[in-house]
């Protein structure tokens, strides 16, 4: 089966296809993680995106029953230099290729992923077509030209209805933009009773359960398109402690009157250095975002910058000057080797004081 990756500027990569015989149009991004492909593909924050993995061999430990961030794959496609068809792991229940096919996602291998990564770094993320259906370059060009990339995936990436995870500790209300299972596990591990609310829930509905704190989750898309989420967050400010991660961090900044902007190629991987001004220490963090908070707008809105990215100086953390509210751009629950950032969940519990 032939695989085709066609970029909006006319660049085409032809390799071998795997997974589902299908065609998808999405935003082409790259991820630098060496492991964690199952978690990456099931992370709702990747909805609408085609992921180019920079590490040359993907799938060598197969697919297991536990490394899920949601019930299925949210990414629109997978690009790899090489994939393993004979995984070595006693927990493996199927190969990556088998799983991707079951999930209905096309993949392409045996292409120069370094060249693709360099192109994205030079020119930015780009609308692309991934196909394993044998379509022509002309057909791919037409599909790519006609498609409009959605920016509001957060409206459907999360829970469709309220649900709960029981616990004896703090009552945490989660506003779900497309939350990762690892975050819910981290909150549950602290004993929290977690109440998950879908996108569009009002501040009044959340406050009606009398939460000890509110968590704003990660999610896909442009944070500025999350109008309802921003409005809900505004209604929660000053009423309860708030902790935001990734999309939640950006929505929080927008709710205070800050601004966000689209990055050239974003941060996606498990090796991003972040400096914490409060502890005067650096951490290695896991990240997945294509937008960032504009620093001066956040400061003008009464927020203090607490964390910065050591590679490009972008804002990685905020806290309010007087209210029990803080957020980070990275994923402290992901633990890409070290557990450097796990203390942030303890900080949230301290603010809730329960």
What average pLDDT score do residues 327-352 get? 88
Show the tokens assigned to 132: 């394993």
pLDDT at 337 over 70: no
pLDDT at 252 over 90: yes
Task: Please list the residues that pair with 274 across neighbouring strands.
Answer: 283, 309
Name residue, tokens 């500790």: 169
What average pLDDT score do residues 129-157 get? 97
354 — pLDDT class (breaks 50, 70, 90): confident
The C-alpha R_g of the chain, in whole angstroms, comes to: 20
Give the model confidence (pLDDT) of 43-63 as tens digits: 999 999 999 999 999 999 999
pLDDT at 202 over 70: yes
pLDDT at 136 over 70: yes
Asked, colleague to colleague, whether 2-146 and 154-352 share their fold, the answer is no
Positions annotated as catalytic residues are 246, 331, 333
- CB under 8 Å to 323, separation ≥6 — which residues? 237, 238
Domain 2-146, CATH: 3.50.30.20
Distance, C-alpha 233 to centroid of its chain? 20
Reference 186, options 25, 313, 333; nearest CA is: 333
Show the tokens assigned to 30: 């790259």
What average pLDDT score do residues 278-289 get? 93
Task: Please list the residues that pair with 273 across neighbouring strands.
Answer: 284
What average pLDDT score do residues 280-298 get? 96
Note whether 243 and 328 are within 8 A (CB).
no
Q: What is the pLDDT of residue 334?
A: 77
pLDDT at 335 over 80: no
Give the separation between CA 147 and CA 27, rounded to whole angstroms.
11
DSSP symbols for 224-281: GG-HHHHHHHHHHTTTS-EEEETHHHHHHHHHTT--EEEEEEEEEEEEEEEEETTTTE
- pLDDT over 90 for what percent of the chain? 96
Note whether 31 and 51 are within 8 A (CB).
yes
pLDDT at 2 over 90: yes
Give the separation between CA 219 and CA 154, rounded to whole angstroms.
6
340 — pLDDT class (breaks 50, 70, 90): confident
**Per-domain residue ranges of the chain:** 2-146, 154-352
pLDDT at 109 over 70: yes
Q: What is the pLDDT of residue 323?
A: 98
Among the CATH numbers 3.90.930.12, 3.40.50.880, 3.30.420.40, 3.40.190.10, which is that of 154-352?
A: 3.40.50.880
> Strands 23-31, 49-53: parallel, antiparallel or unpaired by DSSP?
parallel
H or E stretch covering 176: none
Task: Please list the residues that pair with 3 across neighbouring strands.
Answer: 15
Give the model confidence (pLDDT) of 62-108 as tens digits: 999 999 999 999 999 999 999 999 999 999 999 999 999 999 999 99
Helix, coil or strand: residue 33: coil
DSSP 44: G
């Amino acid at each position: 089966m032939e695989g085709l990756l066609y970029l909006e500027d006319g660049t085409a990569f032809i390799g071998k296809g795997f997974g589902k015989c299908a065609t998808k149009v999405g935003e082409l991004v790259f991820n630098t993680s060496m492991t964690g492909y199952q978690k990456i593909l099931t992370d709702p924050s990747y909805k609408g995106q085609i992921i180019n993995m920079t590490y040359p061999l993907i799938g060598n430990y197969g697919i297991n029953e536990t490394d899920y961030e949601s019930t299925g794959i949210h990414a629109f496609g997978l690009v790899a230099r090489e994939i393993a068809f004979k995984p070595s792991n006693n927990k493996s229940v199927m190969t990556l290729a088998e799983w991707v096919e079951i999930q209905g996602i096309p993949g392409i291998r045996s292409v120069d992923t370094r060249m693709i990564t360099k192109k994205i770094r030079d020119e930015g993320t780009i609308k692309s077509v991934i196909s394993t259906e044998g379509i022509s370059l002309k057909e791919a060009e037409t599909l790519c030209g006609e498609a409009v990339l959605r920016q509001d995936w957060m409206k459907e990436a999360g829970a469709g209805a309220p649900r709960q995870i029981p616990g004896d500790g703090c009552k945490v209300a989660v506003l779900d933009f497309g939350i990762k299972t690892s975050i819910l596990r981290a909150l549950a591990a602290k004993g929290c009773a977690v109440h998950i609310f879908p996108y569009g829930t009002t501040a009044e509905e959340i406050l009606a359960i009398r939460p000890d704190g509110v968590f704003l989750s990660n999610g896909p898309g442009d944070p500025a398109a999350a109008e309802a989420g921003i409005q809900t967050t505004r209604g929660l400010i000053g009423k309860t402690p708030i902790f935001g991660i990734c999309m939640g961090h950006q929505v929080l900044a927008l709710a205070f009157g800050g601004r966000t902007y689209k990055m050239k190629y974003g941060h996606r991987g498990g090796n991003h250095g972040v400096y914490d001004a409060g502890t005067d220490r650096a951490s290695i963090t896991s990240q997945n975002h294509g937008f960032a908070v504009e620093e001066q707008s956040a400061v003008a809105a009464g927020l203090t910058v607490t964390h910065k990215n050591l590679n490009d100086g972008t804002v990685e953390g905020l806290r309010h000057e007087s209210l029990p509210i803080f957020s980070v751009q990275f994923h402290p629950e992901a633990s890409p080797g070290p557990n450097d950032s796990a203390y942030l969940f303890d900080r949230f519990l301290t603010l809730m004081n329960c």
